[in-house]
Chains A and B, each alone.
Chain A
Amino acid sequence: EAQVTQNPRYLITVTGKKLTVTCSQNMNHEYMSWYRQDPGLGLRQIYYSMNVEVTDKGDVPEGYKVSRKEKRNFPLILESPSPNQTSLYFCASSFDLGDEQFFGPGTRLTVL
């Protein structure tokens, strides 16, 4: 089944404790992206990647890192999480930059 998977689905952590949210797709997509969703703000892009070893900042990159060592994986790293990073996070992928994106199920992160 074609899908985007994210882990974990739910995470509660404390300020400053490094964490990684994994994302994997099995559709051989070139383009992958991370979004955060907050009430009243819709989806905002954090980082995106157009291919292996090619990543770039989206609209709200501060406090986040990503890597794209393999085509299928695009982990999101929070080196020192803060409470303002409490949010719902989505990973997405597509064949091309402006094409339909396929979304993962989301990761709900709470930073205390």
Chain B
Amino acid sequence: AQSVTQLGSHVSVSEGALVLLRCNYSSSVPPYLFWYVQYPNQGLQLLLKYTSAATLVKGINGFEAEFKKSETSFHLTKPSAHMSDAAEYFCAVSDPSGGGADGLTFGKGTHLIIQP
């Protein structure tokens, strides 16, 4: 079985400041990892994904995430926050071997607030 823990249900940063959203996972096999973003009144959109290639993954809108196996982490960062980054962010993990029937397992989400 796999699980995801997102530290902090709400994170507030000032416009222009560093964004750091934390995600730790548990998986019995080398996982695929994803970050999704949900803007108000919209569905989920893929930000980036890790599929066992480069450990530093670049996504859309200036976001990136680093896979750290030793820490079982996949934290999301952006050097300079913009007001338009205000949204709900979800980390997700999957078992790419297909051995389990879990599909994607999501964290509970982190609401990012940008202060002007």
Listed in ascending order, the chain A residues whose CB lies under 8 Å from chain B are 4, 31, 33, 35, 40-43, 45, 48, 50, 56, 58, 90, 92, 96-106
Contact = CB atoms under 8 A, between A and B. Distances in A.
Contacts of A98: 32, 94-98, 103-104
A31 B103 contact: yes
B94 A97 contact: yes
B44 interface: yes
A104 B43 contact: yes
Contacts of B90: 42-43
Contacts, number: 58
Contact of B107 (A42, A50, A97): A42
Contacts of B44: 43, 90, 92, 101, 103
A40 B94 contact: no
A4 to B, nearest CB: 8
Given A98-B96, A100-B49, A48 B103 contact: yes
B108 A41 contact: yes
B2 to A, nearest CB: 10
A42 B106 contact: yes
Contacts of A56: 101
Given A56-B101, A103-B44, 20 more contacts: A33-B104, A35-B106, A40-B9, A42-B90, A43-B44, A43-B106, A45-B103, A48-B101, A48-B103, A90-B43, A90-B44, A92-B44, A97-B95, A98-B32, A98-B97, A98-B104, A99-B94, A101-B104, A103-B36, A105-B43
Given A98-B96, A100-B49, A105-B42, A42 B103 contact: no
Contacts of A106: 42-43
A103 B47 CA distance: 13
User: Which 4 A-B pairs rank lowest in CB-CB distance, beginning with the nearest?
Assistant: A98-B94, A42-B108, A103-B43, A103-B44
B43 A33 contact: no
A6 to B, nearest CB: 9
Nearest to B32: A98
A63 B44 CA distance: 24
Contacts of A45: 103
A42 B108 CA distance: 4
